[in-house]
Amino acid sequence: MTERRLHPWRLFGALVVATALAGTPSAAAQTYIDAFDDWDAFHDGQGDAKVCYMASLPKKSEGNYTARGKTYVMVMHHPADQVVGQVYVTAGYSYRTGSEAEVLIGGANYPLFTHQDTPDTAWAYDDKVLRQAMIKGRVMVIKGTSSRGTLTTDTYSLAGVTAAYRAISQECGLR
């Protein structure tokens, strides 16, 4: 594997993610594993508190909005809580209450649910099915609707998903 430097915009996104993870160590404890094409892998903590995750920023974002926070996709392991491969999207805005976001990969749709406790995040109904689609796919498009009714479309590259997933799984002692 060719060694790569972490791009500052990727690091910022990962730091935002690290601090957002409830019950995990601070971003200062974050350890960078490596870059895998368009995905970066990290871990925080050790022992039972260890959390391993991979993240990516969109290649393209569309929508009729004037301001929007950071948006990214994450896949996370937290073995102590029996969380393996949890997939979620942070939109950079609050989703419309009760709405679903939609993931499109290779012509198939995968709905994501939103929840009032995490208004800017959408979660996979079936993490395993979505991860498998991500591994097989090339491009992932995520559509969501903000609390103001703005439709957004974010396009992600899936290059590097498999290698990043293997890296976080190995780091967290999973197969």
Residue 1 lies in a domain: no
Specify the pLDDT at position 175: 73
Closest by Cα among 20, 11, 41 to 92: 20
How high is the pLDDT of residue 66? 86
CB 150 within 8 A of CB 65: yes
* CA–CA distance, 14 with 34 (Å, rounded to integer): 12
pLDDT digits (tens, 9 = 90+) for 116-148: 899 999 999 999 999 999 999 999 999 999 999
Residues 6+ apart with CB under 8 A from 105: 133, 134, 136, 137, 139, 140, 141, 158
Quick one: which of 144, 164, 172 has its CA closest to 74?
164
CATH number, domain at 87?
A: 2.60.40.1880
Q: Tally the domains of the chain.
A: 1
* Residue 31 counted as domain residue: yes
Mean pLDDT of 62-67: 91
Looking at residue 72, what is its pLDDT? Answer: 97
Residue 111 is assigned to a structural domain of this protein: yes
Share of the chain above pLDDT 90, in %: 78
pLDDT at residue 20 tops 50: no
Domain residues for the domain of 127 are: 8-171
Q: What is the pLDDT, as a whole number, of residue 45?
A: 92
3 assigned to some structural domain: no
55 in a domain, yes or no? yes
Q: Tell whether 54 is covered by a domain.
A: yes
pLDDT, average across residues 110-120? 94
Indicate whether 134 belongs to any domain: yes
pLDDT at 84 > cutoff 50: yes
Look at residue 87 and tell me if it is in a domain.
yes
> Mean pLDDT of all residues in the chain?
87
